[in-house]
Structure formats: C-alpha cells, structure tokens
C-alpha cells in the first residue's frame, strides 16, 4: 500500500510520500483547483528548508532579518541568554511604555519565531503576559531578547536522518515562580530520534498547592502530546487535555503501565525542558542548543546528492 500525506494550511499544500503517487495526486488536484507547483519544498509559512546528507535543516533566518530590521535595534552587544538571569518582571512596576502597539507587534513576531526556536519559548510567553499594558522594564527585557536573537541568528533545527526513531519527552515545572500570581511555569519538549519536533512553555491558569501537583500536571500534558504524536503516526489523531490532578496522576500512571512512557531521573544539566520554564545560564543554554543542530552557518548540498524521498510544496 502506498501512502501519500497531504498537509494543508489555507491555500498552501505540502505533499510527501512516493514520487509516482505525488505526481498522480498533483495531476488530479490541478484539474480541479489549478494549482501552482513549486517543486521540492524549500519554504513554507516563513520556515526555510534545506537538505543535507545528515538530515533536513529548518530555520527562519529571513524572518529573523526582517524582525531585526523592524525592531531597529542598533546595539549589537552580544548576550548569551534570552533574558537576564534571575529577572523577575512584574505587571505594575516601572513607567508605562509610550508605544504599546510597537511592543505588541514585536511580541507577535517573536511568538512566530518560536516555531523553530524552543530556546525562546519561555521568554516569549513571559514577555507576552504584558501585552495589554507594557511598561519600560518589559520593553527593556524585550530589547535584551532581540540582542540575544542577533547573537544566535544562525541557530537552526536539524531533523536528523536516522533509522533509530525513538520518541523521548522531557518535562519540567518551576513551581509558584510567577511574582504576580504565584502560578507555576511548566514546559515540555519531545524528541523524535535526536530531532526536536514539539515543545511548549506555559504559565498555568491556576495556583498549584505543591510542586508535586505542578510536576504531575506537566507530565500529564507531555503524556497527552506523546499520545497525540504516536496516534498521529498511526494515522489516528487523539488529543485529550485533563483538568484535575487526580486525573493527571492516573492518566500518566496508565501510560507508564501500558509501556508507552518510561519515567527516569534526569540530572538538571541534561533537562532539556528547563529552557521552557526559566532563563538558564549560558553553559546550560549552550547544551540545550546543541540538540537543535549546528549553530554556525551550514553548507548547502545539491538536491540530487541528498534527497532519497520526496517532499514537495504547492
């Protein structure tokens, strides 16, 4: 049986699968919709795609350039963390920023950048809490993050070409760390083989009474994402969000008993999900970034030397 996968976003379409079946499907689509065939996938929704012998590289270098041009940032002093360490932003301290629309525009652009930059996920959701009424400390933190982006503009995701495709999940919580509400920050990241494919950083909408409750909740979220991903790979999508700690606990326990999830102790320096719950020191952040793939500029190889399957963009 030949399977062709069609990914549709409004009027943008990606086809992947057997080359012959893709050509047949494109012919049928063209008869009905008059499509424009753009060939091998190189660009989709602001994400640039490059093929190498070691895998597929995803980056948003053009978007980053446009973002930095829009920001007008002129101070190119290198910084090595997305936010200053131990920074605690509050909702009401400092003078009001005089141009909140500009702050919101930058915040929205940064949010789009997290599609390929998990190291920015915590920073973006932290800064975007203050969209309604940004103040000068919030704007200064945003400018600091833009300097970090300038310093790491060549950061990419490498989807490794490998036959060992295991699914791993890392989860973490920072209990009661929000100075405004005492709510917890949680985060998780999924690796397919060595490649990051899904991540999330979030401030919880309710206050957890214990750090254990926060840990159970983020484990439940990660378990749901694992279930969704596995069933997606099996062509059956299922995604459930649980509401109570008792359900979270038993949901995670069931997945452990099923053998879908294996829980293990992980030292802090190897906890990838830490980047989604707090600002990390530069040495630990460098280790996290290594999972994305090369930070330096990469060599581009001819397509006919490295493509063994087809992924096309319409």
Whether 26 and 81 map to the same domain: the answer is no
What is the per-residue pLDDT for 300? 41
What is the per-residue pLDDT for 302? 43
Whether 87 and 7 map to the same domain: the answer is no
What value does the mean pLDDT of the chain take?
Answer: 80
Alpha carbon distance 159, 136 (integer Å): 39
In a domain, 227, yes or no: yes
Residues 283-307 have a mean pLDDT of 53
What is the per-residue pLDDT for 304? 41
Given a cut of 70, is residue 75 above it in pLDDT? no
Joined together, the tokens standing for residue 115 give 């599609």
Domain limits for position 273: 164-289
Confidence class for position 1, pLDDT limits 50, 70, 90? low
In a domain, 53, yes or no: no
Whether 135 and 226 map to the same domain: the answer is no
Q: What global pTM score does this model have? A: 0.69
Given a cut of 80, is residue 101 above it in pLDDT? yes
Secondary structure, 3-state, the chain = CCCEEEEEECCEEEEEECHHHHHHHHHHHHHHHCCCCCCECCEECCEEEEEECCEEEEECHHHHHHHHHHHCCCCCCCCCCCCCCCCCCCCCCCCECCCHHHHHHHHHHHHHHCCCCHHHHHHHHHHHHHCCCCEHHHHHHHHHHHHHHHHCCCCCEEEECCCCCCEEEEEEEECCCCCCCCCCEEEEEEEECCEEEEEEEEECCCCCCCHHHHHHHHHHHHHHHHHHHHHHHCCCCCCCCCCCHHHHHHHHHHHHHHCCCCCCCCCHHHCHHHHHCCCCCHHHHHHHHCCCCCCCCCCCCCHHHHCCCEEEEC
What is the per-residue pLDDT for 269? 73
In a domain, 135, yes or no: yes
Comparing 43-52, 210-219, 229-238, 249-258, the range with the smallest average pLDDT is 229-238
pLDDT digits (tens, 9 = 90+) for 142-184: 999 999 998 888 888 888 888 777 888 888 888 767 777 777 8
In a domain, 44, yes or no: no
Residues 102-125 have a mean pLDDT of 91
Of residues 126 and 306, more confidence is placed in: 126
What is the per-residue pLDDT for 271? 78
Whether 209 and 282 map to the same domain: the answer is yes
The most confident of the ranges 87-91, 137-141, 235-239 is 137-141
Whether 19 and 67 map to the same domain: the answer is no
What is the per-residue pLDDT for 57? 92
In a domain, 307, yes or no: no
Alpha carbon distance 147, 72 (integer Å): 11
Whether 120 and 211 map to the same domain: the answer is no
Whether 170 and 86 map to the same domain: the answer is no
What is the per-residue pLDDT for 231? 79
Of residues 76 and 198, more confidence is placed in: 198
Tokens 């008993």 appear where? 257
Residues 27-43 have a mean pLDDT of 86
In a domain, 274, yes or no: yes
In a domain, 312, yes or no: no
Residue 122 has φ and ψ, to the nearest 5°, of: -65, -45
What is the per-residue pLDDT for 37? 86
Joined together, the tokens standing for residue 190 give 């999924």
What is the per-residue pLDDT for 162? 80
pLDDT digits (tens, 9 = 90+) for 222-270: 888 888 888 777 764 633 443 445 566 767 778 888 888 887 777 777 7
In a domain, 309, yes or no: no
Q: What is the CATH number of the domain that holds 246?
A: 3.30.420.10
User: Domain total for the chain?
Assistant: 3
167-174 and 47-52 beta bridge pairing? unpaired
């Amino acid at each position: 049986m030949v399977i062709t996968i069609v990914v549709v976003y409004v009027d943008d379409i990606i086809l992947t699968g057997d080359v012959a079946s893709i050509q047949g499907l494109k012919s049928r689509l063209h008869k009905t919709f008059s499509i424009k065939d753009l060939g091998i996938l190189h660009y989709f929704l602001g994400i640039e795609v490059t093929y190498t012998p070691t895998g597929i590289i995803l980056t948003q270098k053009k978007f980053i350039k446009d973002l930095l041009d829009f920001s007008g940032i002129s101070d190119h002093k290198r910084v090595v963390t997305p936010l200053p360490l131990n920074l605690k932003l509050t909702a009401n301290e400092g003078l009001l920023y005089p141009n909140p629309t500009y702050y919101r525009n930058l915040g929205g652009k940064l949010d789009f950048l997290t599609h390929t930059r998990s190291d920015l996920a915590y920073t973006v959701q932290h800064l975007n809490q203050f969209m309604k009424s940004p103040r000068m400390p919030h704007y200064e933190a945003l400018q600091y993050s833009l300097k970090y982006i300038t310093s790491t503009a060549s950061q990419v995701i490498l989807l490794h070409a490998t036959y060992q495709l295991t699914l791993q999940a890392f989860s973490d919580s920072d209990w009661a760390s929000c100075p405004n509400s005492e709510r917890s920050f949680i985060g998780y990241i999924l690796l397919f083989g060595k490649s990051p494919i899904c991540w999330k950083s979030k401030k919880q909408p309710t206050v957890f009474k214990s750090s254990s409750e926060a840990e159970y909740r983020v484990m439940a979220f990660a378990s749901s994402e694992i279930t969704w991903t596995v069933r997606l790979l099996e062509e059956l999508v299922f995604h459930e969000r649980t509401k109570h700690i008792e359900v979270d606990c038993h949901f995670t326990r069931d997945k452990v008993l099923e053998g879908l999830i294996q829980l293990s102790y992980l030292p802090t320096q190897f906890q990838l999900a830490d980047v989604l719950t707090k600002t990390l020191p530069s040495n630990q952040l460098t280790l996290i970034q290594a999972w994305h793939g090369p930070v330096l500029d990469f060599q581009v190889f001819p397509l006919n030397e490295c493509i063994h399957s087809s992924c096309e963009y319409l």
